[in-house]
Chains A and B, each alone.
Chain A
Amino acid sequence: MISIDTHLAVQSTSNDGRIDFNRIQRNQRRNITVDGGEVRRPVSESGVDWRRAEVRGVALVKKDGDRLMSRLKKKKTEEAASRLMSRLKKKKTEEAASRGGCPSDYVALSVSIISFVFLFLRSTLPFIIHKVPRPKGSSFWLPTVQIIASFNLLLSLAMSLNIVRFHRRHWWQSCYLWGVWVNGPLGFGLLLSSRLIQVTHLYFVFVKRRLFPIRSYISLPLALLPWVAWAALLEIKQPINNHCHMGTQWAVPHMSLPVFYIAALVVITGAIHHIEFKFDELKDLWRAILFSAFSFSVWVVAYVLNETHEEIKWLQVTTRFMLLVVASCLVVAFFSISFSQPLVSVMSLNKKESFKMKTMGEALGIHDSGLLSHNDPALDVHPNDPLHKLLLNKRFRLSFMEFADSCLAGESLHFYDEVQQLEKIPVNDPVKRVYMARHIIDKYINTGANMEVNISHRTRQEILTTLDLAHPDLFKNAVNELLQLINMNLAKDYWSSMFFVKFKEAAMRNVDHEVNNGWNYSPRLSSVHCPDDPFYQDHMSN
């Protein structure tokens, strides 16, 4: 009835809001109830003036009443309509607040993209600019894993926090995939685990003075196991609701796992903080720990606030923004290559300085480990002198090294050279000795190393499983074997090579004719052109 009334009222008010008396009359004749009262048939017009007056009077009162009613009704509909509009708007903003698409979200997303690109460039540019060969083994894989983990972390945050609006139709957009798996074992967990492995390596090498016995392709999955187990448990129990939140009894263990790992990092860093590192490793470590702790606390606060104040929409937007920006800062601050590639970490990205690629000897400040200087004495050499005595002279050693490089046998000489540099480090400076020893092992001893030397299995194993990396006789057997190899194999060919002739000339003495007779017959080299072999590069920079 009310609806009809209003309909009537609307209709009657169609003529400028004035009540149409005729219309009401017509409606009355049509038996439409107006006030719920009876229909009164109009009396004939002749003798019922007072009646008409009465009717008119009643109608007038009715008219006012109707006018009032319709005005009230109008107000009501207006209010209802506006309320509806505002409710709709609110819903939209609510949706926007909870489902992403706000401008602040896009800002955060662009910040994270920029930070990842910056991280990637920072990690690969030194290698590209200085043309450093790609390292092998765990010194390549651990930093690479960290970059992948950083990418996963940022991606998982973007997806699980609904930074960009998505309809959750596909399985690959589920909260479990991003919020649990990619964020945990493949993101933050992987980042913390790889750094934990690196720190453990440092501890073993510098404090215990031996190489870490477990290979990194076993130790990293082991370190990641708790994360994987926890993610599997969450997957089975399914405690996460539609808004990607879990209850308190699940949230507490979920947060305790990163705390445990960060605590482990702090403990091991504490165990090595007394060592005088030469390449800023400790500084990088503390920075990483600080940033991880900070971003973790931001995450906890955001989580708690979101749980307790779900209805405050600006809070959701702000926390999303903060989380993503803090995570971006974390991935940039966390990364460092000073553990695995200390030399690369001191290389400047300035292209003009690209030829000043330092050797480890130079970086550690070992005296007399660089290029030849004028002070190096020339030597009067004869082919019958014992080679290991001759090699102690720097000019001769460099000439011999050039010769060996030209016939692809240079690694033995470079190894010998760097071991000589190691022996210059005093025994009471074990940190430097360990750096140099580790560098030599990575470069020359490890299987598959770039400049792997030709030594027996036993000698290699003795070095790799040594209990004291700073021991003065660590490389003695290897040097012996290689010197014998050089003596029996290369020395003969050197005396009859062009390099020896040049050495003699450079020593400013008359060329020995006896030796010269066979100089243009050297069984080594000639058509072995290899512009981009490691020896050529190394000796260029030497």
Chain B
Amino acid sequence: MGLLCSRHKRGNQANTEENVQAAEIERRIEQETKAEKHIQKLLLLGAGESGKSTIFKQIKLLFQTGFDERELQSYTSVIHANVYQTIKILHDGAKELALSEEGASKYGLSADNKEIGEKLSEIGGRLDYPWLTEDLVEDILKIWKDPAIQETYGRGNELQVPDCADYFMENLHRLSLPNYIPTKEDVLHARVRTTGVVEIQFSPVGENKKSGEVYRLFDVGGQRNERRKWIHLFEGVTAVIFCAAISEYDQTLFEDENRNRMMETKELFEWVLKQKCFQKTSFMLFLNKFDIFEKKVSKVPLNVCEWFKDYQPVSTGKQQVEHAYEFVKKKFEELYYQNVTCEHQDRVFKIYRTTALDQKLVKKTFKLVDETLTRRNLFEAGLL
């Protein structure tokens, strides 16, 4: 606000009416700066596609007015874009895999689907996506159900297939209805890379700012080039919510296909822990995407990731999932305590298992986070 208002002021010095307006704005700034001292700053950090923006959307849904119809409608183009992009990635991936000798039979599209595939791939490369019509939906489903594409999807970890692919393909008919308005769930599944910094201010109790804490939550981009910008946010942070997608142990980065995502998360977490500004900051580690992790762990062993290479699988079924999860959690705990020095003794560190798409879970998790931070505040104020 300050930046805006000073610009406004500079431009309108001649006009007395606007001087009055400027004075009013100045008063508001003063009020807000006073209020700002009581605002707690939360940062959502993490590697690319770890779920930060989904948590951000969830907080918006839970503690603010949520999404109004206009905003929901604005997500339609995003969802359609996701559909086209997914098909393009799968089609191009299948083409590439079919270039090798063994791949030709496995990943080669059937004759009629080839043309459709090329057409869809061309659409996916445009800037303006066409509206999803019934015809296009038929074509897309044909391609999606082609065995070559399904095989490629099985190797989706080598490509940059978004996690929402499954969900949107299942609901494709609904998405193409003429008066389609995205549901909350659709909006949460929609995948958009965040660039720059987004923030919201909320209070977990209600709109009444006097009771309960007031939080200002910042969402950032996770790709490497976006991380340069994080440093501008590091002052005066109450808590860092670090999102780590535990289902990504067999995937590579969007911005560097030679690097494993889990290894990148590990290094990033270490880097964040070592920052001087975060000596007194509480750390909430969200081990995210548990739903995908559950399904993946029985098919792909954890050992494919270098960090987890000493994992010994045990039994099958639910026990296996729990065991694998406990292993991952322990790894992160070890990592945290390796990077803790005597200056960090008072720092709070908590790990939460989350699935950012699940609203109830996020609400529960955030309540726990809120409790921890409140307790911490009282502790620092000397009341505990």
Q: Which residues of A contact B (CB under 8 A)?
A: 386, 388, 404, 406-412, 447, 452-458, 460, 480, 483-490, 492-493, 498, 523-530, 533
Contact = CB atoms under 8 A, between A and B. Distances in A.
30 contacts: A404-B196, A407-B196, A408-B229, A408-B232, A409-B197, A447-B224, A454-B221, A454-B223, A454-B255, A456-B160, A457-B258, A460-B255, A480-B127, A484-B127, A485-B195, A488-B77, A488-B81, A488-B192, A489-B195, A490-B196, A493-B198, A524-B198, A525-B3, A526-B1, A526-B3, A526-B199, A528-B232, A528-B233, A529-B3, A533-B229
B226 A386 contact: no
A492 B197 contact: no
A501 to B, nearest CB: 10
Contacts of B226: 454
Interface in B239-293: 253-258
A530 B36 CA distance: 18
B125 interface: yes
Nearest to B11: A502
Given A454-B223, A527-B216, A412 B3 contact: no
A453 B254 CA distance: 13
Contact of B195 (A454, A480, A483, A525): A454
Interface string B200-230: 1000000000000000100001011110110
Counting from the closest, the 9 A-B pairs by CB-CB distance are: A409-B196, A452-B225, A407-B196, A409-B195, A408-B229, A530-B232, A457-B257, A408-B196, A488-B192
A406 B3 contact: yes
B194 interface: yes
A506 to B, nearest CB: 10
A411 B223 CA distance: 14
A523 B198 contact: yes
B194 A456 contact: no
B127 A457 contact: no
Contacts of B254: 456-457
Nearest to A388: B127
B74 A492 contact: yes
A457 B253 contact: yes
Contacts of B198: 407, 493, 523-524
Contacts of B4: 498
Contacts of A485: 193, 195
B348 interface: no
A480 B197 contact: no
Given A527-B199, A529-B3, A484 B81 contact: yes
B23 interface: no
A489 B127 contact: no
A454 B197 contact: no
Nearest to B220: A408
B128 interface: yes
Contacts of A526: 1, 3, 199
B88 to A, nearest CB: 12
Contacts of B78: 488
Given A454-B193, A488-B81, A489-B194, A523 B200 contact: yes
A411 B197 CA distance: 13
A314 to B, nearest CB: 62
A530 B232 CA distance: 6
A533 B160 contact: no
Contacts of A483: 127
Contacts of A484: 81, 127
B193 A489 contact: yes
B244 to A, nearest CB: 20
A524 B196 contact: yes
Contacts of A493: 198
A188 B257 CA distance: 41
A452 B228 contact: yes
A461 to B, nearest CB: 9
B267 to A, nearest CB: 15
Contact of B192 (A409, A457, A480, A489): A489
Given A407-B198, A454-B195, 6 more contacts: A404-B196, A407-B197, A457-B256, A524-B199, A527-B216, A529-B2
Interface in B48-84: 74, 77-78, 81
A348 to B, nearest CB: 29
A407 B3 CA distance: 12
A533 B232 contact: yes
Q: Which of A404, A407, A489, A490 has the most chain B CB atoms closer than 10 A to its own CB?
A: A489
A363 B194 CA distance: 34
A533 B228 CA distance: 10
Nearest to B218: A528
Contact of A490 (B81, B160, B195, B228): B195
Contacts of B193: 454, 485, 489
Nearest to A498: B4
A523 B253 CA distance: 28
B3 A411 contact: no
A484 B229 CA distance: 21
A254 to B, nearest CB: 45
B125 to A, nearest CB: 7
A450 B34 CA distance: 35
Contact of B197 (A453, A457, A524): A524
B242 to A, nearest CB: 20
Contacts of A410: 196
Contacts of A529: 2-3, 232
B197 A528 contact: yes
Nearest to B254: A456
B94 to A, nearest CB: 16
A498 B3 CA distance: 11
A526 B5 CA distance: 11
Nearest to B253: A457
Contacts of A407: 196-198
Contacts of B197: 407-409, 524-525, 528
Contacts of B194: 489
Contacts of A388: 127-128
Interface in B94-150: 125, 127-128
A525 B7 CA distance: 14
B59 to A, nearest CB: 12
B343 to A, nearest CB: 27
B127 A386 contact: yes
A418 B79 CA distance: 30
B226 to A, nearest CB: 6
B276 to A, nearest CB: 18
A460 B224 CA distance: 13
Contact of A457 (B196, B200, B255): B255
B62 to A, nearest CB: 16
